[in-house]
């Protein structure tokens, strides 16, 4: 029996229309004569979705008792027994009630597929295992119902049901997704524009990766080796030379011109692992590629053009960026070079040969291939000078038993031993000495430097050539072994350094300590040239020209000359090592550490400058807002008071008693308003100076709202209070939080139309309580939000006194809270006061499952990312 096909409707968030699209497809197939049944569909009371169920056969759900409550689940056995052609099954990631035959609904779907039934299902992006942690980071909500990515990737078809965040929020505001009493909580939490935009991007990227996988699978199944330009992919080849930065930036510009293009950097390493590429340069270039949004790859190959093109074709690259050859003119005569060879073999891949400053300067000599030490060479010569005569004495004693044919290989073995100890030159000396000893003592006529038989001439000449050749091979193998060991040590050091970078370890002391431990040094010091110190030739020895930035170990160096090794880092820094001299081959690792130390120092100073400038920036923003607010708010009451006083003092006006009383009242009100404004200014000044004291204590939310309402001026607006009973207490200063609420509610009353209520509601979310004041006024004036020179009141038409909003935000910040302004869907403004919640006392876990539908809109205690109830087993 053939396995059934799986088609999945993928959505970025609840409410985008996945179930609707699935049911619409089911109806289309049923109208064409296909046998379609509904295995499980949740309509959430949405009439348009429910209308699509009419006329479709629905398989009855099975009931599962759990903790005294009865739940309904998909009856997979009934679907299999019915054996339709197509089954519609909603919510693929759903967790079944404990006691069900399977734990997850996708496992039921697998059984139905194995029965040869086609399944249409739905899933949201937040329920995929691979993005579960990312969604929690974005929304602050852990996802308890998940499905393995592999289950969705195996689906024959995955269709994205897409809708813009703004359209989804409008759909929510119109009541097409959740009940009206749950709309506000949903819009201000999970369904914020930022959350929806991020989830939509995750869904698009995940689906794009699946499409890529499908394309690669199709190309592989049909043996298509050519490049298909479905998406621009730019590959830049790096040699590890200094021209790499130029090539990366050029490739990045090429990728930017084709929007959505991928940037990939590749370095080809020889199969023996020995390369002349500078690890420090490669590490820096890798960081540059990743900072530009690209990826870095390392491939192994002895034929560089072939390795590059194989990699480019494997990733379906459309363009390849290479540097022009660094070979000189003579080198180009004997070899065309990597660039020309790659162009000739590239086929449909466009190859860009980029000029750079290293053209024609030749390649650097391979680093780390210095010869043996002088002691090893001397030991080899001594071994040859002493060992060969001793060997001659032994073989002379055995002359009757051994012939020249046996003596020659014995001498050859001795020469190989010399080569392994002292290298090539002692071995060549031993080969020539062996030739003479064999000629004099063992070749007839003996004790003469003549050879009587021509066969012996050939044998001795062949002995010399073989000895020299074998010695060269042994010497090369020994060198490669030492180079491989040294490269391994370098790789381990660089790997440790790269690991510290990836983990974000940029503290100077830990970096220098790691370097000290790696090379067994006494101390490591990072020095910086003092500003203003003369740049004299003797500055390396002058301690007064340098200052110690960081140091580990005992006895820090005060100048580069005091250390055993110093590594300059630009013109201003030097890494100084004390303890023992290091080989020149270790220089590359030291330069990598030095570059990372300079980066860590730069990062540390940027953080310090950021911390130092933050209070100044905050003060500047507050001062700008104050000046802008005062320019208007001071003028209005002053003008009113002056006008009233002038009218009273004018001898020609002669006002009536009622008019006089009205003028006195107007002057008093204006001066009282001015008094409040001055008090606000003083409080803002205290906030800026950090002298405003707070007395945070646990407060009941309903009590602080009630106290704030008592402090409001009389108004014709009706205030609708919706504070759930289960809202936890908040930690705040009672006087300050009341003052904030009075400001926000009074502003909402002032701007909201009389025929619309001002809504005050609250919800708990991620350890915080949010009080929302919702009105239906003009809303946010977006063209003024970005103008710091505008009076702060012009951020929103609601805020009549910009100073009041400034003070409200400052008071909230002083208590660890926030004041955020957002548009109310359908028009108006929502001012949200966020305060830390008081942690509830520990208690026993709940004994009944959570059966709340539409968990996204519920204010507390449920999974806001599920289309359905939360996991009843949790």
Neighbours of 235 (CB within 10 A): 25
Per-range mean pLDDT, top range of 221-225, 382-386, 466-470, 560-564: 382-386
Look up tokens 């690792």; give the residue: 589
pLDDT in tens, 760-789: 999 887 788 999 998 887 765 433 333 333
Residue 91: burial class (beta carbons within 10 Å; 0-12, 13-18, 19+): buried
pLDDT in tens, 198-228: 899 888 888 877 776 677 676 667 666 555 6
- Helix, strand and coil content of the chain, in percent to the nearest 5, comes to 50, 15, 35
User: Mean pLDDT over all residues of the chain?
Assistant: 78
**Predicted local distance difference test score (pLDDT) of residue 801:** 43
**Predicted local distance difference test score (pLDDT) of residue 332:** 52
Strand order in the sheet with 719-722: 719-722, 758-765, 768-774, 829-836, 818-823
Q: Is the pLDDT of residue 615 over 60?
A: yes
Higher pLDDT, 291 or 623: 291
What does the alpha-carbon distance between residue 757 and residue 760 come to, in Å, rounded to a whole number? 10
Higher pLDDT, 27 or 464: 27
Q: Is the pLDDT of residue 376 over 90?
A: no
**Predicted local distance difference test score (pLDDT) of residue 271:** 67
C-alpha dihedral over 498, 502, 504, 508, to 10 degrees? 0
Contacts of 402-411 with C-beta under 8 Å, sequence gap 24+, read 404/438, 404/442, 404/443, 404/456, 404/459, 405/459, 407/438, 407/442, 408/438, 408/459, 408/460, 408/463, 411/437, 411/438, 411/463, 411/467
Residue 872: which pLDDT band, with cuts at 50, 70 and 90?
very low
DSSP 61: P
CB contact at 8 A, 337 and 217: no
Q: Is the pLDDT of residue 841 over 70?
A: no
- Average pLDDT in the 159-165 region? 90
Residue of 732, 722, 850, 727 lying closest to 774 (CA atoms): 722
Strand order in the sheet with 233-238: 295-300, 262-269, 233-238, 319-323, 350-354
pTM of the full predicted structure?
0.40
pLDDT in tens, 2-26: 889 999 999 998 889 999 999 999 9
CA angle 642, 645, 648 (to 5 degrees): 150
**What DSSP assignment string belongs to 494-528?**
HHHHHHHHHTT---HHHHHHHHHHHHT-SEEEEEE
Look up tokens 């056995």; give the residue: 77
Per-range mean pLDDT, top range of 75-89, 119-133, 269-283, 342-356: 75-89
CB contact at 8 A, 648 and 660: yes
**Predicted local distance difference test score (pLDDT) of residue 365:** 40
DSSP 724: -
- Average pLDDT in the 380-385 region? 89
Give the bridge partners for 264, in sequence order.
235, 295
What does the alpha-carbon distance between residue 699 and residue 704 come to, in Å, rounded to a whole number? 7
Rounded to whole angstroms, what are the CA distances from 449 to 392, 397, 412, 457? 16, 20, 20, 11
**Predicted local distance difference test score (pLDDT) of residue 35:** 95
**Predicted local distance difference test score (pLDDT) of residue 868:** 39
Residue 358: which pLDDT band, with cuts at 50, 70 and 90?
low
| Cβ neighbours of residue 604 closer than 8 Å, sequence gap 6 or more | 506, 507, 508
Q: Would you state the structure tokens that stand for residue 270, as one six-digit string?
A: 């020889």
Percentage of residues in the chain having pLDDT higher than 90: 14
**Predicted local distance difference test score (pLDDT) of residue 237:** 92
- Average pLDDT in the 375-381 region? 85
| Cβ neighbours of residue 198 closer than 8 Å, sequence gap 6 or more | 138
- Average pLDDT in the 354-365 region? 60
- Average pLDDT in the 626-648 region? 70
Neighbours of 642 (CB within 10 A): 12
Residue of 808, 724, 822, 729 lying closest to 768 (CA atoms): 729
Look up tokens 């000044």; give the residue: 685
CA 89 to chain centre: 35
**Predicted local distance difference test score (pLDDT) of residue 474:** 73
Higher pLDDT, 671 or 799: 671
Residue of 559, 501, 492, 499 lying closest to 528 (CA atoms): 559
Q: Would you state the structure tokens that stand for residue 630, as one six-digit string?
A: 């005062």
Q: Which of 135-149, 271-285, 315-329, 425-439 has the lowest mean pLDDT?
A: 271-285
What does the alpha-carbon distance between residue 739 and residue 874 come to, in Å, rounded to a whole number? 41
Per-range mean pLDDT, top range of 244-253, 589-598, 663-672, 782-791: 244-253
**Predicted local distance difference test score (pLDDT) of residue 756:** 82
**Three-class secondary structure of residue 118 per DSSP:** strand
Per-range mean pLDDT, top range of 291-295, 698-702, 847-851: 698-702
Residue 749 backbone phi and psi in degrees, to 5: -65, -40
| Cβ neighbours of residue 65 closer than 8 Å, sequence gap 6 or more | 71, 99
C-alpha dihedral over 262, 267, 270, 275, to 10 degrees? -170
What length does the chain have?
874
pLDDT in tens, 138-157: 887 777 888 998 899 889 89
Residue 867: which pLDDT band, with cuts at 50, 70 and 90?
very low
pLDDT in tens, 31-58: 999 999 999 998 888 888 889 998 899 9
Per-range mean pLDDT, top range of 267-276, 285-294, 386-395, 642-651: 386-395
Q: Would you state the structure tokens that stand for residue 166, as one six-digit string?
A: 């703004």
Q: Which of 177-186, 309-318, 617-626 has the lowest mean pLDDT?
A: 617-626
pLDDT in tens, 479-490: 777 667 666 666
CB contact at 8 A, 114 and 154: no
Residue of 554, 538, 607, 546 lying closest to 575 (CA atoms): 546
CA angle 640, 642, 643 (to 5 degrees): 65
Per-range mean pLDDT, top range of 324-328, 765-769, 805-809: 765-769
CB contact at 8 A, 521 and 578: yes
Higher pLDDT, 633 or 472: 472
Percentage of residues in the chain having pLDDT higher than 70: 77
- Average pLDDT in the 435-460 region? 82
What does the alpha-carbon distance between residue 252 and residue 247 come to, in Å, rounded to a whole number? 9
Higher pLDDT, 846 or 777: 777
Rounded to whole angstroms, what are the CA distances from 171 to 46, 90, 178, 193, 577? 12, 21, 9, 13, 66
Residue 688: burial class (beta carbons within 10 Å; 0-12, 13-18, 19+): middle
- Average pLDDT in the 245-266 region? 84
Q: Is the pLDDT of residue 583 over 80?
A: no
Residue 272: which pLDDT band, with cuts at 50, 70 and 90?
low
- Average pLDDT in the 834-861 region? 51
Q: Which of 80-94, 463-477, 794-808, 834-848 has the lowest mean pLDDT?
A: 794-808
pLDDT in tens, 310-322: 888 877 788 899 9
**Predicted local distance difference test score (pLDDT) of residue 857:** 36
Q: What does the radius of gyration of the chain's CA atoms come to, in whole angstroms? A: 41
């Amino acid at each position: 029996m053939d396995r059934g096909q799986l088609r999945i409707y993928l959505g970025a968030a609840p409410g985008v229309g996945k179930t609707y699209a699935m049911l619409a497809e089911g109806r289309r197939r049923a109208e064409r004569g296909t046998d379609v049944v509904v295995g499980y569909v949740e309509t959430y009371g949405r009439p348009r979705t429910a209308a699509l169920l009419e006329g479709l056969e629905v398989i009855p759900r099975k009931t599962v008792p759990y903790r005294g409550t009865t739940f309904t689940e998909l009856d997979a056995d009934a679907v299999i027994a019915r054996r339709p052609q197509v089954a519609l099954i909603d919510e693929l990631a759903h967790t079944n009630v404990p006691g069900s035959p399977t734990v997850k609904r996708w496992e039921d779907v697998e059984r139905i597929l194995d029965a040869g039934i086609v399944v249409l299902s739905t899933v949201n992006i937040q329920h995929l295992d691979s993005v579960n942690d990312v969604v929690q980071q974005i929304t602050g909500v852990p996802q308890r119902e998940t499905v393995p990515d592999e289950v969705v990737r195996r689906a024959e078809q995955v269709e994205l049901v897409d809708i813009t965040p703004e359209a989804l929020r409008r759909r929510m505001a119109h009541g097409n997704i959740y009940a009206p009493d749950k709309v506000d909580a949903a819009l201000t939490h999970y369904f914020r524009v930022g959350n929806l935009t991020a989830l939509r991007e995750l869904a698009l990227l995940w689906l794009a990766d699946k499409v890529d996988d499908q394309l690669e699978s199709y190309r592989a199944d049909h043996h298509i080796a050519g490049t298909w330009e479905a998406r621009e992919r730019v590959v830049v080849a790096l040699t590890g030379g200094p021209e790499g930065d130029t090539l990366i930036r050029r490739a990045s510009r090429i990728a930017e011109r084709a929007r959505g293009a991928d940037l990939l950097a590749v370095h080809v390493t020889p199969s023996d692992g020995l390369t002349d590429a500078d690890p420090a340069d490669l590490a820096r270039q890798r960081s540059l590629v990743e900072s530009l949004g690209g990826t870095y790859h390392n491939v192994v190959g002895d034929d560089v053009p072939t390795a590059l093109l194989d990699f480019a074709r494997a990733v379906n690259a459309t363009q390849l960026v290479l540097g022009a050859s660094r070979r000189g003119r003579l080198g180009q005569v004997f070899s065309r070079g990597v660039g020309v060879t790659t162009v000739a073999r590239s086929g449909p891949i466009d190859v860009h040969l980029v000029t750079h400053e290293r053209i024609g300067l030749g390649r650097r000599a391979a680093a780390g291939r210095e010869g043996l030490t002088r002691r090893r060479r001397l030991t080899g010569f001594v071994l040859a000078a002493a060992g060969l005569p001793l060997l001659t004495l032994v073989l002379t004693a055995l002359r009757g038993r051994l012939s020249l044919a046996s003596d020659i290989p014995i001498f050859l073995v001795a020469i190989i031993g010399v080569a392994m100890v002292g290298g090539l030159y002692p071995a060549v000396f031993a080969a020539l000495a062996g030739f003479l000893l064999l000629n004099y003592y063992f070749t007839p006529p003996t004790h003469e430097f003549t050879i009587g038989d021509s066969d012996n001439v050939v044998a001795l000449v062949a002995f010399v050539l073989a000895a020299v050749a074998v010695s060269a091979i042994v010497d090369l193998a020994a060198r490669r072994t030492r180079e491989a060991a040294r490269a391994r040590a370098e790789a381990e050091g660089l790997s440790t350094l790269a690991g510290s970078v990836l983990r974000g370890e940029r503290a100077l002391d830990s970096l220098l300590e790691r370097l000290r431990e790696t090379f067994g040094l006494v101390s490591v010091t990072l020095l910086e040239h003092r500003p203003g110190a003369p740049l004299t030739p003797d500055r390396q020895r002058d301690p007064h020209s340098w200052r110690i930035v960081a140091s580990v170990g005992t006895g820090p160096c005060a100048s580069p000359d005091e250390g055993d090794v110093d590594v300059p880092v630009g013109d201003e820094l030097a890494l100084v090592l004390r303890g023992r001299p290091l080989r020149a081959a270790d220089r590359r690792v030291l330069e990598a550490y030095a570059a990372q130390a300079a980066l860590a120092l730069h990062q540390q100073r940027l953080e310090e400058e950021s911390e130092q400038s933050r209070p100044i920036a905050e003060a500047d923003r507050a001062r700008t807002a104050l000046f802008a607010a005062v320019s208007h708010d001071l003028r209005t009451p002053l003008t009113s008071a002056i006008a009233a006083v002038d009218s009273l003092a004018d001898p020609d006006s002669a006002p009536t008693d009622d008019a006089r009383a009205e003028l006195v009242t107007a002057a008093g009100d204006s001066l009282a308003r001015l008094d409040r404004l001055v008090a606000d200014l003083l409080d803002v000044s205290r906030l800026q100076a950090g002298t405003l004291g707070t007395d945070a204590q646990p407060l009941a939310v309903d009590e602080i709202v009630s106290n704030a309402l008592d402090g409001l001026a009389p108004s014709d607006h009706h205030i609708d209070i919706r504070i759930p009973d289960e809202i936890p207490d908040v930690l705040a200063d009672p006087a300050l939080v009341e003052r904030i609420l009075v400001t926000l509610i009074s502003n909402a009353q002032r701007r909201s139309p009389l025929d619309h209520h001002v809504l005050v509601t609250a919800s708990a979310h991620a350890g915080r309580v949010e009080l929302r004041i919702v009105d239906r006024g003009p809303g946010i004036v977006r063209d003024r939000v970005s103008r710091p020179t505008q009076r702060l009141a012009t951020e929103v038409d609601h805020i009549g006194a910009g100073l009041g909003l400034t003070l409200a935000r400052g008071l909230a910040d002083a208590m660890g809270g926030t004041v955020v302004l957002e548009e109310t869907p359908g028009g108006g403004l929502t001012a949200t006061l966020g305060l830390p919640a008081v942690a509830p006392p520990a208690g026993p876990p709940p004994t009944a499952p959570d059966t709340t539908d539409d968990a996204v809109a519920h204010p507390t205690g449920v999974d806001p990312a599920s289309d359905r109830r939360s996991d009843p087993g949790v």
